[in-house]
A = this chain, B = another copy of it.
Amino acid sequence: MASTVVSSAVSYARENQKRFLEELKNLLRIPSVSTAEEHKDDVRKAAEVVANDLQRIGFEHVEIIPTGGHPLLYADWLHAAGKPTALCYAHYDVQPAEPLDEWHTPPWEPTERNNNIYARGAVDDKGQLWMQLKAFESLFKTGGGKLPINVRVLIEGEEEVGGESIEEYVLKNANTGKLKADFALVTDTELFAPDMPTLCVGLRGLVYTEIEAQGAKTDLHSGVYGGAAPNPLFALVEIISKLKDADGKILIPGFYDDVQKPTDAELKAWERLPFNEEDYRKAEVGSSVLTGEPGYSVLYRTWARPTLEVHGIPGGFVAPGAKTVIPARASAKVSMRLVPNQDPDDILKKYTDFVKKVTPKGIAINIKVHSKGPACVVNTDNKYARASVEAMHEVFGKDTVYIRSGGSIPIVTQFDKDLKIPSIMMGMGLPDDNLHAPNEKFHIPNFYRGIESIIRFFQILGEGK
């Protein structure tokens, strides 16, 4: 921290660091995997832990809101008359932990190593959710039960499965006043590099599908029927191979029609960021070469170019060993990341039409949509962005950089579109935190810096700056 005199809230946060971390570990022990039906009760349990803490630290109107999927959490404290109102977002659900055998320590037993905490959800997003709660606790406890600004909290349990319930809730409450706020605080992104305060100002959109293919009516012996029976696995291979070329160019007709380029100023700013593609290849990706469209930098390709990936091809025989089967059914999980100005519905239609067109004879397909949301770019010319930059300058002693993320946080787009408020994406993850992968971690000093940054952010806004 650059300034030498710290507020009582920051002092409180520092004195309670160990307890805050132990509380986070308790939350991380709950396998709240939102995509897995068998973890439904765990997701509910995680929601209750968060709700109880919101209540305990001083929020009012704490609600566990039932939905068609996993519960939403709402709470508020709105007694800072004349001060701005924040809508604070995070999510308590996590990605599946598989493949389990690649974790060095168990995903549901948080373990400290090298000043990191390792667990599924450590950084995405339980650790960053807990930063918010602990900042609020520090402010409540040292402010006589008051916060420097008005705060609404809206936390979901379906971020990793498309966030359908929060989307409906926000849409329903866009004009009821329930979510009325001046800006949103979103803690689900990362620092561009260690010790470099960062605001994320752009996210890619996502259309995630599963192509389900059926050939014969039952599994068949590949010796007896090979040469006559359609093979849905091979059909999926044929289909997917036609969606993207070896250079990463997507071959769906019209796919790039509406792609909006970043401004020249933004592209120039990216060039000034301390980023070395060779270091990134070695340290983060660990592959022999990087892939993707020629003529675009890595940051451009991952932040501002649409991509298409296949995530899994369930079907047939996948256990160790050999089985000579032509499966009756198989499917492929295929997603596309979208950039600003691409409409998810339009892209989905173009994708569906093309997949149907290139489906081989003898195969019946069905396209299931797991999730769908547009990209967004956030405006930073407002006092909330300026206050967050000032707060992080105090905590990190450095100027903030503005980046985009290749990931997707659909709610940010909706805050912009339906609530007409800007989102401050103040994330404390690191590029090598293994998001969505084995050995996910959160750098413990960043957990603490996140708490202090939020405390100062809200204090600065409360001071009316």
A interface residues with partner B (beta carbon < 8 Å) = 35-37, 95-96, 98-99, 102, 160-162, 204, 206, 208, 210, 215-231, 233-234, 236-238, 240-241, 244, 246, 248, 280, 284-293, 298, 301-302, 305, 307-327, 333, 335, 337, 360-362, 364, 370-371, 405-408, 431, 434-439
Contacts and interface: CB of A to CB of B under 8 A. Distances in A.
Given A302-B226, A312-B315, A216 B324 contact: no
A218 B437 contact: yes
A308 B227 CA distance: 8
19 contacts: A36-B321, A96-B317, A96-B323, A160-B323, A208-B324, A216-B285, A218-B437, A225-B284, A227-B293, A227-B305, A230-B289, A233-B310, A241-B241, A288-B362, A309-B326, A311-B325, A311-B327, A318-B333, A322-B371
Given A230-B289, A237-B237, A437-B219, A224 B406 contact: yes
Contacts of A241: 237-238, 240-241
Nearest to A223: B407
A335 B302 contact: no
A155 to B, nearest CB: 21
Contacts of A246: 238, 360
A220 B298 contact: no
B316 A312 contact: yes
B302 A36 contact: no
Which of A228, A318, A324, A325 has the most chain B CB atoms closer than 10 A to its own CB?
A228
Contacts of A290: 228-230, 362
Contacts of A327: 311-312
